[in-house]
């Protein structure tokens, strides 16, 4: 994360120093003869309420708005409280009130001020800038400008992180890993971004004042540290070689989805534990299998998605045969 004065300023208020701040409030309260912690907390909260919220600029490029929809899907905490209470959302095309030059100037002013969190959704066309224009300007230029003074950059979704589906198309979409070489980018790379991954990352940054620990390709280890296959509830059927063939058969409904093209053994994400939509369901749970959307070579590297006849799936099977994917130990 870049060192930035403004960012440090708001981190001073929102971040780790909150503890110090509370200590200070407690001391103040004690001096005043009001030693209850509750009172001190109230002082802290009141002072915090008057403080500045971290500015956020959310840019959309070659996107489908699915990550925006995923973001607004947060129930606990509610999306409204994140948008109105926790952050100062300066620019988000799908949410903000203004249009055209009104919001373009807000975006410009926020960039001038620096110290904001930059969230990028969607890829950047490599084939020709004109494949993605916003406000009359190439999206590529907009991202490059916004990245200059950002305190932190989050790529939401597969497209912004690594190019996603557009990477395999005629516009040759690229992610921030290629568009912003040398910049630290937090990659939340599922398609779409997982609500919890984004909300959790934002909250972590507000509380800790820094980016969470990242893996080699910029993904938070807390969310992308384990391979899906190792936590899959269908794992024992994989080990036994029982693969679902017919979705109509209740007996097979929990069997392994490898034959239907599941890419779980090649994909890192906590989907099987966290699941999606407040734990209601997930790709593997619903019988469709994992399509590898958290990985840098998604979609082209994962296709064909729904059959084991593709190279990727054949490779997984070969590894299984060679004993390179050992059975889960049952203790």
Site for another protein in 287-326 (CB under 8 A): 287-289, 291, 299, 303-307, 310
Least distance (Å) between residue 60 CB and another protein: 7
**25 counts as catalytic:** no
Does position 46 interact with another protein (CB under 8 A)? The reply is: no
Least distance (Å) between residue 43 CB and another protein: 17
Task: Decide if 161 contacts 201 (C-beta within 8 A).
Answer: no
Does position 145 interact with another protein (CB under 8 A)? The reply is: no
The interface with another protein within residues 14-43 (CB under 8 A) comprises none
Task: Exactly one of 67, 107, 132, 197 is catalytic; name it.
Answer: 67
Task: Exactly one of 14, 92, 194, 229 is catalytic; name it.
Answer: 229
* Per-residue contact flags (x/-) with another protein for residues 253 to 272, judged by CB under 8 A: x------x------------
Candidates 32-40, 104-112, 216-224, 320-328; binding stretch for another protein (CB under 8 A): 104-112
Q: Which helix (H) or strand (E) holds 203?
A: helix 195-208
Q: Mapping DSSP to helix (H, G, I), strand (E, B) and coil, where does residue 58 land?
A: strand
Which CB sits closer to another protein, 166 or 218?
166
Find the radius of gyration of the CA atoms of the chain: 23
Q: Mapping DSSP to helix (H, G, I), strand (E, B) and coil, where does residue 34 land?
A: coil
HEC letters along 206-263: HHHCCCCCECCCCCEHHHHCCEHHHHCCCHHHHHHCCECCCCCCCCCCCCECHHHCCC
CA gap 119, 7 in Å, rounded: 15
Interface residue with another protein, options 166, 175, 209, 296 (CB under 8 A)? 166
Candidates 17-25, 71-79, 198-206, 318-326; binding stretch for another protein (CB under 8 A): 71-79
Which CB sits closer to another protein, 163 or 325?
163
Q: Mapping DSSP to helix (H, G, I), strand (E, B) and coil, where does residue 243 land?
A: strand
Beta carbons within 8 Å of 127's beta carbon, 6+ residues apart: 170, 171, 172
The interface with another protein within residues 192-231 (CB under 8 A) comprises 192
**293 counts as catalytic:** yes
Does position 165 interact with another protein (CB under 8 A)? The reply is: yes
Least distance (Å) between residue 307 CB and another protein: 6
Q: Mapping DSSP to helix (H, G, I), strand (E, B) and coil, where does residue 108 land?
A: helix
Instruction: State phi, psi for 268 to the nearest 5 degrees.
Output: -105, 120
Number of neighbouring beta carbons within 10 Å of residue 154:
27
Give me the active site residues, please.
Answer: 64, 67, 159, 191, 229, 232, 256, 262, 271, 283, 290, 293
């Amino acid at each position: 994360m870049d060192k930035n004065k403004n960012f440090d300023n708001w981190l001073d208020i929102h971040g780790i120093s909150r503890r110090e701040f509370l200590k200070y409030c407690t001391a103040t309260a004690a001096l005043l003869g009001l030693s209850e912690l509750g009172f001190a907390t109230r002082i802290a909260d009141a002072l915090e309420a008057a403080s500045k919220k971290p500015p956020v600029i959310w840019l959309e490029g070659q996107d489908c708005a699915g990550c925006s929809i995923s973001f607004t899907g947060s129930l606990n905490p509610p999306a409204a409280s994140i948008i109105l209470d926790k952050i100062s959302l300066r620019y988000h095309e799908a949410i903000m009130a203004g249009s055209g030059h009104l919001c373009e100037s807000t975006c410009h002013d926020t960039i001038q001020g620096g110290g904001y969190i930059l969230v990028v959704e969607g890829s950047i066309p490599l084939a020709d800038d004109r494949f993605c224009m916003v406000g009359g300007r190439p999206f590529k230029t907009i991202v490059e400008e916004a990245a200059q003074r950002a305190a932190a950059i989050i790529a939401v979704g597969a497209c912004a992180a690594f190019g996603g589906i557009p990477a395999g198309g005629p516009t040759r979409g690229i992610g921030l890993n290629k568009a912003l070489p040398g910049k630290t980018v937090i990659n939340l790379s599922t398609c779409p971004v997982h609500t919890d991954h984004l909300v959790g990352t934002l909250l972590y940054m507000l509380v800790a004042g820094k980016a969470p620990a990242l893996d080699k390709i910029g993904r938070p280890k807390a969310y992308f540290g384990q391979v899906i296959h190792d936590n899959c509830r269908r794992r024992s059927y994989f080990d036994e070689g029982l693969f679902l063939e017919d979705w109509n058969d209740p007996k097979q409904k929990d069997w392994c989805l490898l034959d239907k093209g599941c890419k779980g053994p090649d994909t890192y994400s906590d989907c099987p534990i966290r699941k999606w939509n407040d734990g209601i369901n997930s790709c593997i749970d619903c019988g469709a299998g994992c399509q590898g959307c958290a990985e840098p070579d998604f979609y082209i590297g994962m296709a064909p998605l729904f059959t084991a006849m593709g190279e990727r799936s054949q490779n997984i099977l070969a590894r299984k045969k060679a004993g390179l994917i050992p059975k889960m130990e049952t203790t």
